[in-house]
């Protein structure tokens, strides 16, 4: 299963990407997280249904210091998982 999330709110500059990375890695998910030019955080994650359900719950809660206003979710075609490796932060220094 592959899911795409777009998280809106106060999610940039508050450690949100690092939070997502830690949660996804602990759950054994593959994929990536990155900031968007519009001030959101974008996540693509692949794994089993249970792990993705746990990640979804964490995304709605957010990291300490963040404020999640909205989480938009789409299921992607399973073929998208073939290009995903170990969970990483894109655009990090």
CA distance 91 to 77: 24
CA distance 43 to 56: 10
Known catalytic residues? 17, 35
């Amino acid at each position: 299963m592959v899911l795409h999330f777009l998280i809106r709110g106060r999610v940039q500059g508050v450690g949100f990407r690092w939070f997502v990375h830690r949660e996804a890695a602990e759950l054994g998910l593959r994929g990536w997280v990155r900031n968007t030019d519009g001030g959101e955080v974008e996540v693509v994650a692949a794994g089993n249904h249970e792990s993705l359900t746990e990640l979804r719950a964490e995304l709605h809660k957010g990291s300490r210091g963040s404020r999640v206003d909205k989480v938009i979710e789409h299921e992607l075609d399973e073929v998208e998982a073939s290009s995903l490796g170990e969970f990483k932060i894109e655009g990090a220094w």
